[in-house]
Copies of this chain bind each other. A is one copy, B any other.
Amino acid sequence: MSRSRISRVDVTPVAFADPPLLNVVGVHQPWALRAIVQVHTDEGSSGLGETYGDQDHLARLTAVAAELPGADPYDTHGLRATVADVLRRGGGAADSFGGMLDVKSALDTTFSPFEVAFLDIQGRESGRPVSDLLGGAIRDRVPFSGYLFYKWAGHPGQDADSWGEAMDPDGLVSQARRMVDGWGFGSLKLKGGVLPPADECAAVEALHEAFPGLPLRLDPNGAWTPATSVKVADRLTGLVEYLEDPTPGIPGMAQVAQRTTVPLATNMCVIAFEHLPPAISQDAVQIVLSDHHLWGGLRRSALLAGITETFGMGLSMHSNSHLGVSLAAMVHLAAATPNLTYACDTHYPWKTEDLVEPGVLEFADGAVAVPTGPGLGVTLDREALGRLHEQYLSCGVRRREDTVYMREVDPGFQPNTARW
């Protein structure tokens, strides 16, 4: 049996339409960016990865891609060393993922899409789904949470989109109704940090009334002080399964955690392995949101899962705006992570186009069946890839800038971080 080697790697930036979803630092731009990585081998197999499409990140991806021909698609340790080397040699521009993330190094984020593509190749070559390469699927369907946003009716200067405005409890309940009816979600997450905390609490209460028994989450992305966070936690005790990042930073989260029984989750203060020791020693968070794009691919996300299990923490999964390659990877990872007991986040319902062939990743009862074909189990739709790449070329967006975009509408806007 011969052992394949990488022959070529393509990195393709794409853009897809995104609604005006509001958050603590501003509002989603009309176009969300992603990069699609295609890794080809000399034996004719290939693998896919998907990651952020910001310009600085693209530069890093492209620099790594150039180094990979000749590499062994099983050698993810070698891949990691290559990425580290490329970044050391200056491929490592400053991180830029929308202004909310603070990581020391771009190593894990740059490594991730290539690692996923390598695993996709391994699965295709061995005839096994990626979940098998991670120890096997312990669930055949992965539940997701409906992701609710405060939003404008449409982008400035454009018609209202099909979702329409949601700036109050009624609007969010209508949005949730469409999510639950259309996708069958069995839990709901509200992105907060947009309105004063009392308004967002009222929204959660309205959701609880409209969907009794459905687990709810609120994520203000650090919009509150520790004192406000405790007040919100008191008000929402019994209504939310967890509060995500009520206040910024590990010490602030630790202050809140000491004064509430509501579990605190994070995708802001613990987003890299270096954050785990201080967070654990301060008991700052009870649930970590995994994200393979951020944590260095699927195997390092499995490592994160093992760490949270070892230290008695819960595990959930974060999502940025993403396409089908990412969804497939998320589903395989979640399926093969025994202690991932919360429904995963996903922005998937918010997008109107994709670049994988349809039929594999369908939502039913709020869950996606784990693809059973070799590798990730999804196939790139080359025509769609071309179209989304054309959109990238023509849209003019080159990095995620929620705050800059918000200021086009509200010139005095300041991020709401720890505002209330």
A interface, CB within 8 angstroms of B: 1-3, 72, 74-78, 81, 122, 125-128, 132-133, 135-138, 273-274, 276-277, 280-281, 299-300, 302-303, 306-307, 309-312, 336, 338, 374
Tell me the nearest residue of chain B to A303, going by C-beta. B306
Known: A77-B138, A135-B75. A310 touches B128 (CB 8 A): no
> Top 6 nearest A-B pairs by Cβ distance?
A1-B127, A75-B136, A74-B132, A303-B306, A126-B126, A77-B135
A1 to B312, CA, bound (A): 40
> Would A374 and B1 count as touching, CB distance under 8 A?
yes
> Would A128 and B3 count as touching, CB distance under 8 A?
yes
Contact partners of A132 in chain B: CB under 8 A: 72, 74-75
Q: Supply 27 A–B pairs (Cβ within 8 Å), ascending by A.
A: A1-B374, A3-B128, A72-B132, A74-B128, A74-B132, A74-B135, A75-B136, A76-B135, A76-B136, A77-B135, A77-B136, A77-B138, A78-B138, A125-B126, A126-B126, A273-B306, A273-B309, A273-B310, A274-B310, A276-B311, A277-B280, A277-B310, A302-B303, A303-B303, A303-B307, A306-B306, A306-B307
> Would B311 and A277 count as touching, CB distance under 8 A?
yes
Contact partners of A310 in chain B: CB under 8 A: 273-274, 276-277, 303, 307
Other A-B pairs beyond A2-B127, A77-B338, A122-B126, 12, CB < 8 Å: A74-B128, A74-B132, A74-B135, A75-B136, A76-B135, A125-B126, A273-B306, A277-B311, A277-B312, A303-B303, A303-B306, A307-B307
Which among B81, B125, B126, B336 is the interface contact of A77 at CB below 8 angstroms?
Answer: B336
Distance (whole angstroms) from the CB of A81 to the closest CB of chain B: 7
A74 to B277, CA, bound (A): 32
A216 to B299, CA, bound (A): 34
Distance (whole angstroms) from the CB of A78 to the closest CB of chain B: 6
A127 to B125, CA, bound (A): 10
Which among B74, B307, B312 is the interface contact of A133 at CB below 8 angstroms?
Answer: B74
Known: A128-B3, A303-B303. A138 touches B81 (CB 8 A): yes
Contact partners of A77 in chain B: CB under 8 A: 135-138, 336, 338
> Would B1 and A136 count as touching, CB distance under 8 A?
no
Contact partners of A274 in chain B: CB under 8 A: 310
Contact partners of A135 in chain B: CB under 8 A: 74-77, 299
Tell me the nearest residue of chain B to A372, going by C-beta. B3
Tell me the nearest residue of chain B to A136, going by C-beta. B75
Tell me the nearest residue of chain B to A338, going by C-beta. B77
A119 to B276, CA, bound (A): 30
A85 to B127, CA, bound (A): 29
Distance (whole angstroms) from the CB of A228 to the closest CB of chain B: 30
Distance (whole angstroms) from the CB of A290 to the closest CB of chain B: 14
